[in-house]
């Protein structure tokens, strides 16, 4: 019975014993995406299944977080010290280690609906067992598969003497999954919902917060409070910054923003910060980029260049650390409220957050309350901050201390008394962000932990069933998400406007669709919403550049009929409502100029572009050299920073890593020449400037032939990359 829930445990083994005793040996366990998995609980279930072949274990999840590994002694010397200081207590997932080694026992299956980009490209088991589903359909699908156990990590906090729990980093699917399992339980299925406490998690509010009674079992032992996974920040290249700058011009003050993790999202955050904190410099840069010349209507119609007076509201499946940077920069500050009448009045400019007597008439006009206030009406007005918290309702009167005032707004005497003695000062309950999950660098977690409770309450965690769609509360969500800019990343764009984001044309999964389709679709449903896909125009395969704008591609994540806006480092392609010819031309204009003529030729051959069309001269200088020249003077002014939000890596580690990657690429693509040059370098003296790099790699004093060879490889790689002379 619910009154008996939850049962508390200090020992994860005893908890697993009881789960097996309750649901049996066929266990279909769901765990949330990324950070919120209870690693130690998952490892114990897996250990039992390995030891007992009669246990049938299926694990349903997404994005297992993994510490980096190495495949050579040279890699170990670089990576191991980083791993030791960055993830000192993070427990690896034993099942994923065995999956990668192709050692999963036959009684264990693992299905993921999302994975870290490209990490499973060569892992056949993961490719075969990927489940493709929209984020909003995950719970539906895992229930269909037969999930009978749900497990996640929880934060814990004592408030006014009572213990509360928070889904913290993962309210995305677990809340919905718990409700679904209870429905299955009513049908006779044996189920178990398990929480595992980790007090290193920030305690988040919103729908994530509960008294824990929805769980059957809660494991709480301080010995299990491991450090949270510290996600390294990716370098933000000039290419990424340019994409972010173009996209920043499409964001409207007073609007709504969704962004994802990664360097493209960080580039957008940097662009928005430049717009806010260095507006004159930002406008000069945008002018140098010819944004208004080449796309004259985009900024005026849907975006802006001015600072953020009203601010933005975040509505994003992922609360990325970039939102905290936007908050600290005074950009993320537009509050929304869980009341349609209040939100409508705010949108229309009829009210502000300051309470005035006009609130009462306006709430009556919106049918939010009645003229004769009921107890329910008074409670609502108190919840919103329109009335003071100290008031009570009794016998159709508002009781304020020793005063009793008729709860009748049409009674002038009562109305005057209500206005004079009952009104609050400011609206309450506003939030600046709705998110469904988070994972990020340690400083991001610490920023959340360091916030006051009032601050943290403004970052409301809820499910993807709320954030990723309009269904279930459409009136309010439409009012909250005005001028929505739903910004995602893509891999490849076809000239018909279709985008591939999650897989290659040979069918291999790169990551997963996640919520991208949800947000693209929602952008089209909101009258002033726009969906923006950020795509790097090129990628490198060895030393050869390949275009990510192609004539056609054998995979599609966003179909052509949902094409909207695509941004590359060379500009903005507005595709909504355009003909196929205009779409193709717009994309060619933002492609790298090395590939434009070939794209145009293919489009003309297919009859998609008129034979007479020529690319205007102003779009023919799309080159990395042009971008670097454009960025150079602004780098001196503090823009285009490679790691704008810090990094876990030391400077010498960044250089060693980049140099060794370049060396490996050269060996793969120009093996003979590279090895010849390496052999020539073997007999030369080492530069004194190599010393700190060699000390970091523990190769300053090599004691074996192998170490001497590794030392020469490191020095040669650093010299080839230009880091030492």
Distances (CA, A) of 219 to 167, 209, 225: 14, 17, 11
pLDDT of residue 4: 80
What contacts 115, CB < 8 A, 6 or more positions away?
62, 63, 64, 126, 130, 509, 511, 512
Strands 392-394 and 397-400: antiparallel
Which candidate, 235, 420, 432, places its Cα nearest to that of 314?
432
Centroid of chain to Cα 462: 14
User: Does pLDDT of 466 surpass 60?
Assistant: yes
**Residue 218 CA to chain centroid, in angstroms?**
28
Is the dihedral angle over the CA atoms 199, 233, 315, 450 positive or is it negative?
Answer: positive
| 194 DSSP β-pair partners | 151, 217
Handedness of CA 492, 497, 501, 502 (dihedral sign): negative
For residue 328, give both structure tokens. 């600290």
Token pair belonging to 582: 């205009």
The string of pLDDT tens digits covering residues 560-571 is 999 999 999 999
170: nearest Cα among 140, 218, 144, 135: 135
> What pLDDT sits at residue 543?
79
Q: How many Å apart are CA 169 and CA 128, to the nearest integer?
A: 28
Closest CA to 439 of 225, 148, 153: 153
Q: Residue 392, preceding bond cis, omega within 30 degrees?
A: no
Q: Please give the helix or strand (H or E) that residue 583 lies within, else none.
A: helix 580-589
Please count the other Cβ atoms lying within 10 Å of the Cβ belonging to residue 545.
15
How many other CB atoms are found less than 10 A from the CB of residue 683? 7
pLDDT, residue 1, reads: 44
**Which segment of 7-16, 469-478, 661-670 scores lowest on mean pLDDT?**
661-670
Domains and CATH numbers, the chain: 2-224 (3.40.1080.10), 238-335+433-624 (3.40.1080.20), 355-421 (no CATH), 651-721 (no CATH)
* Helix 321-328 with 442-450: angle, nearest 10 deg: 50
The pLDDT tens digits of the residues spanning 278-322 come to 999 999 999 999 999 999 899 999 999 999 999 999 999 999 999
Q: What is the band of 665 on the pLDDT scale with cuts at 50, 70, 90?
A: confident
Q: What is the rounded CA–CA span in Å between residue 518 and residue 506?
A: 24
């Amino acid at each position: 019975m619910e009154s008996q829930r939850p049962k508390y445990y200090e020992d994860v083994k005893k908890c697993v014993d009881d789960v097996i005793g309750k649901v049996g040996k066929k266990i279909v366990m769901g765990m949330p995406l990324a950070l919120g998995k209870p690693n130690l609980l998952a490892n114990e279930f897996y250990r039992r299944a390995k030891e007992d072949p009669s246990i049938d274990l299926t694990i349903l999840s997404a994005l297992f977080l993994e510490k980096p590994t190495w495949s050579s002694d040279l890699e170990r010397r670089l990576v191991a010290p980083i791993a030791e200081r960055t993830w000192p207590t993070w427990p690896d997932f034993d099942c994923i280690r065995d999956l990668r080694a192709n050692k999963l026992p036959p009684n264990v299956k693992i299905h993921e609906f999302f994975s870290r980009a490209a990490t499973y490209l060569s892992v056949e088991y993961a490719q075969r067992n990927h489940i493709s589903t929209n984020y909003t359909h995950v719970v539906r699908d895992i229930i269909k598969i037969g999930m009978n156990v749900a497990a996640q990590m929880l934060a814990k906090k004592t408030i006014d003497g009572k213990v509360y729990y928070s889904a913290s980093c993962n309210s995305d699917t677990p809340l919905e999954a718990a409700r679904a399992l209870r429905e299955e339980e009513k049908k006779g299925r044996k189920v178990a919902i398990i929480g595992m406490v980790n007090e290193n998690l920030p305690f988040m509010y919103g729908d994530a917060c509960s008294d824990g009674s929805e769980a059957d079992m809660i494991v709480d032992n301080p010995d299990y409070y491991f450090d949270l996974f510290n996600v390294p920040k990716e370098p933000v290249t000039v290419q990424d910054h340019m994409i972010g700058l173009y996209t920043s011009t499409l964001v409207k003050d007073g609007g709504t923003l969704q962004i994802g993790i990664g360097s493209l999202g960080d580039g957008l955050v940097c662009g928005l910060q430049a717009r806010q904190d260095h507006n004159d410099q930002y406008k000069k840069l945008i002018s140098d980029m010819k944004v208004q010349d080449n796309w004259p209507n985009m900024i005026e119609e849907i975006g802006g260049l001015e600072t953020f007076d009203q601010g933005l509201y975040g509505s994003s499946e992922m609360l990325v650390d970039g939102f905290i940077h936007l908050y600290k920069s005074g950009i993320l500050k537009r509050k929304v409220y869980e009341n349609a009448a209040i939100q409508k009045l705010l949108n229309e400019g009829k009210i502000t957050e300051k309470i005035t007597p006009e609130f009462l008439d306006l709430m009556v006009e919106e049918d939010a309350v009645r003229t004769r206030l009921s107890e329910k009406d008074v409670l609502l007005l108190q919840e919103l901050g329109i009335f003071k918290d100290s008031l009570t309702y009794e016998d159709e009167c508002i009781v304020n201390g020793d005063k009793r005032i008729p709860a009748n707004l049409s009674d002038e005497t009562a109305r005057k008394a209500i206005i004079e003695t009952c009104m609050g000062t400011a609206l309450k309950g506003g939030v600046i962000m709705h998110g469904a999950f988070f994972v990020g660098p340690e400083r991001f977690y610490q920023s959340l932990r360091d916030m006051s409770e009032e601050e943290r309450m403004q970052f409301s965690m809820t499910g993807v069933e709320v954030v990723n769609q309009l269904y279930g509360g459409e009136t309010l969500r439409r009012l909250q998400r005005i001028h929505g800019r739903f910004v995602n990343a893509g891999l490849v764009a076809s000239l018909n406007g279709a985008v591939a984001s999650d897989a290659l044309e040979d069918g291999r999964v790169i990551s997963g669709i996640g919520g991208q389709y949800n947000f693209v679709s929602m952008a089209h449903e909101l009258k002033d919403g726009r969906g923006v896909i950020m795509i790097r125009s090129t990628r490198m395969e060895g030393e050869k550049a390949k275009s990510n704008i192609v004539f056609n591609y054998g995979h599609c994540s966003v179909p052509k009929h949902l094409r909207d806006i695509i941004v590359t480092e060379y500009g903005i392609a507005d595709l909504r409502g355009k003909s196929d010819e205009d779409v193709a031309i717009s994309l060619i204009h933002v492609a790298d100029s090395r590939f434009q003529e070939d794209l145009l030729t293919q489009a003309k051959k297919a009859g998609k572009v008129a034979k007479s069309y020529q690319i205007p001269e102003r779009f023919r200088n799309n080159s990395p050299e042009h971008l670097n020249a454009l960025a150079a003077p602004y780098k001196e002014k503090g823009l285009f920073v490679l790691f704008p939000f810090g990094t876990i890596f030391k400077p010498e580690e960044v250089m060693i890593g980049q140099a060794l990657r370049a060396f490996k690429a050269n060996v793969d693509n120009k093996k003979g020449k590279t090895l010849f040059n390496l052999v020539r370098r073997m007999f030369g003296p080492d530069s004194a400037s190599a010393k700190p790099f060699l000390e970091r790699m523990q190769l300053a004093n090599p004691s074996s032939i192998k170490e001497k060879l590794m030392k020469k490889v490191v020095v040669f790689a650093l010299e080839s990359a230009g880091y030492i002379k």
